[in-house]
Structure 1
Amino acid sequence: MEGLSTYRLGYVAQSLTLGVSASHTCRLATATPRRLEALAAQNLEELEQLLRFNAEHGIQVFRIGSSLIPFGSHPVNTLPWWKTFEGTFATLAHIARRSRQRLSLHPSPAGASLSSRHQRVRDAAIAELRYSARVLDMLEAGPECRVVIHVGGAAPSRPEALDAAHRVLDALPEDLRQRLTIEHDDKVWSAREVLPLAREHGVPMVGDNLHNAVLPSEPPMSVAELVREAAATWRALDLRPKFHLASQQEGGRPGAHSDFVDPADLRAMVSALDGPADFMLEAKQKDRAVFALRRDAGARRSPKAQGARAS
């Protein structure tokens, strides 16, 4: 199916084949301007390796690590990195654009909470979103390239937390809104709770099959319904839908990602598609998980495999 452009597969931040991650950082106590600039230069060099590797292997969906520019949203980083590395970003943008790579960032939930009752936490979330959006802008990424964030916690109560998230999104500048996508999670906010938030504010929702299994909606939402409803939030903006795809780690805590993605989990989501879509694999084996799923799909489509099944 991937060869027919029904779906594309991508991975998160690090190529195990190359052994690079473009996510080097340091402790806050050692975050001097000189150290931060050196780390940023190293990360950008590794990002070029990753983008060229993706282009060579036809991988068009990739999540950049949020530490590309270490402490990019923190006051400790006073570097004008967007000026210092302007030429480097232009080179990266050319590679990504030529190979049609869909790029994204996903700040940690701790660093990007919309629902906190504390203004400083909400301000930090906006700063992280602004930094991440700037990275995508510097890479000349299209409108389908987004910053993925979770809603956050539910304190002091679910209604108050949800109201705080609404107020943050209401006040969000349009340029940041156009870089945002919201994801339901596996601990606090279910898909059926996040969907209305996304719809009301005109931002797409990333559907996650494992989150949906670990934290079911009320009433429960099937994988097919999740795919259909989440896809509609992207198509309302004339954008190709994007999903997160993961399999439960055997023996791990609920929601722990396995090394690879079970092909059955991919098939369950693909079977519900009504058009092209992208899947970000959240698997510990990173790019190797992409190659493994491709091999499975190729084996299932091959005449030899079809003949074996018929016999």
Structure 2
Amino acid sequence: MKNLKGTMEGPSTYRLGYVANCLTLGVGASHTCRLAGATPERLEALTAQNLEELEQILLFNEAQRIEVFRIGSSLVPFASHPVNTLTWWKTFAKTFDHLARIVRRSGQRLSLHPSPAGASLSSRHPHVREAALRELRYGARVLDLLEAGPEARVVLHVGGAAPSREEALVAAHRFLDEMPDDLRNRITVEHDDKVWSAREVLPLAREHGVPMVGDNLHNAVLPSNPELSLKQLVREAAATWTALDLRPKFHLASQKKDGRAGAHSDFVDPADFRAMVAALELPADFMLEAKEKDRALFALRQLGEKPRRAKGQGAVAP
């Protein structure tokens, strides 16, 4: 393989991103509180603090030429919960306008990823589905306020498989059928490492015209049947994005040594990184799901010059 120097984040190759917390700055834009203490005054103060930290992160990303970033779902604490009665999108409209200018000029691709408990597709229970819709409306509103393009998405898992896989899939299809277009155009689905494999999620994405995020670690922990190689996963997942004229996006992670299957390591193993790069057939973005966040990103950037491994882990150290 060619030296990685010179291929990092070029417009014709790939870009790297990280999740929520900027460890270099020590901020995460995700301050929240207990439900019992979620007064309007407290929620407004926390939202103001989070938006201030988000500005710091976006400016940091701009300075470091990082163009892919996932915003923490608690940017507006309890935004999808009835306890939050604030019209925060009006209160902080000027702040969002300012942040949108940073996003626009720096070309950052944004996303959110609520927990499966907060939003998934397969539940038959009306109250669970309504809660998921509220979470999606919140995430879509944040992306709209930041004037993010159509490539900016809220990442969703399919969810559970109760009472049976067949009934859960029917529920997921129905949820997507009934979802308003403005929300459907803001979501992407992802296979997981416990319930739904890539080969099961791909048809769901294709049928409803939503892209699928391919995840290398999930594909290894929960293989499809028949198995999808990494190259096949990348090709098939990428096609769900390009069908919408959007740049593909993938999750990239390494298995934590001695952790449960699917647990993310602190850094990305160079072998996993190189395998994903080798599987690419067109420009794409990698969201690094690594505990060391932006530090893991910077570590991968060093690969072209000084490949180094964390002792005993096979992972890149900063």
Q: For residue 58 of structure 1, report the CA deviation from its aligned partner.
A: 0.4
> Given residue 195 of structure 1, which amino acid in structure 2 is its aligned partner?
L
Q: 1:2 aligns with which of 8, 18, 21?
A: 8
Provide the C-alpha distance between the structure 1 equivalents of 2:62 and 2:115, rounded to a whole number of angstroms: 27
Q: For residue 297 of structure 1, report the CA deviation from its aligned partner.
A: 3.0
Q: Secondary structure at the match of 1:2?
A: coil
Provide the C-alpha distance between the structure 2 equivalents of 1:214 and 1:246, rounded to a whole number of angstroms: 12
Q: Secondary structure at the match of 2:219?
A: helix
2:80 maps to 73
Query: Are 2:23 and 1:16 equivalent residues in the alignment?
Result: yes
Provide the C-alpha distance between the structure 2 equivalents of 1:115 and 1:229, rounded to a whole number of angstroms: 22
Q: Deviations over 1:133-178 (max 9, x none)?
A: 0000000000000000000000000000010000000001111011
Q: For residue 4 of structure 1, report the CA deviation from its aligned partner.
A: 3.1
Q: Secondary structure at the match of 1:279?
A: strand
1:198 maps to 205
Query: Are 2:280 and 1:273 equivalent residues in the alignment?
Result: yes
Q: Deviations over 1:188-237 (max 9, x none)?
A: 00000000000000000000000000001001111000000000000000
Q: Deviations over 1:50-96 (max 9, x none)?
A: 00000000000000000000001111101000000000000100001
Q: For residue 247 of structure 1, report the CA deviation from its aligned partner.
A: 0.2
1:307 maps to none
Alignment of 1:18-37 (within 5 A): 18-37=25-44
Q: 2:176 aligns with which of 164, 169, 174?
A: 169
2:315 maps to none
Q: Secondary structure at the match of 2:29?
A: coil
Provide the C-alpha distance between the structure 2 equivalents of 1:152 and 1:96, rounded to a whole number of angstroms: 31
2:49 maps to 42
2:314 maps to none
1:180 maps to 187
Query: Are 2:123 and 1:116 equivalent residues in the alignment?
Result: yes
Q: Which has the higher helix share?
A: 1
Q: Secondary structure at the match of 1:39?
A: helix
Moved more, 87-96 or 1-10: 1-10
2:133 maps to 126
Provide the C-alpha distance between the structure 2 equivalents of 1:192 and 1:291, rounded to a whole number of angstroms: 32
Percent of aligned pairs with the same residue? 77
Unaligned 5+ segments in structure 2 are 1-6, 308-318
Unaligned 5+ segments in structure 1 are 301-311
Counterpart contact for 2:27–2:57, Cα < 8 Å:
yes
Provide the C-alpha distance between the structure 2 equivalents of 1:113 and 1:204, rounded to a whole number of angstroms: 15
Provide the C-alpha distance between the structure 1 equivalents of 2:291 and 2:88, rounded to a whole number of angstroms: 31
Q: Secondary structure at the match of 1:9?
A: strand
1:153 maps to 160
Provide the C-alpha distance between the structure 2 equivalents of 1:144 and 1:113, rounded to a whole number of angstroms: 20
Provide the C-alpha distance between the structure 1 equivalents of 2:206 and 2:47, rounded to a whole number of angstroms: 36
Provide the C-alpha distance between the structure 1 equivalents of 2:9 and 2:18, rounded to a whole number of angstroms: 18
Q: 1:242 aligns with which of 236, 249, 252?
A: 249
> Given residue 170 of structure 1, which amino acid in structure 2 is its aligned partner?
D
Provide the C-alpha distance between the structure 2 equivalents of 1:260 and 1:272, rounded to a whole number of angstroms: 20
Query: Are 2:98 and 1:91 equivalent residues in the alignment?
Result: yes
1:62 maps to 69
Provide the C-alpha distance between the structure 1 equivalents of 2:101 and 2:141, rounded to a whole number of angstroms: 16
> Given residue 114 of structure 1, which amino acid in structure 2 is its aligned partner?
L
Provide the C-alpha distance between the structure 2 equivalents of 1:165 and 1:32, rounded to a whole number of angstroms: 35
Q: TM-score, normalised by structure 1?
A: 0.95
Q: Secondary structure at the match of 2:117?
A: helix
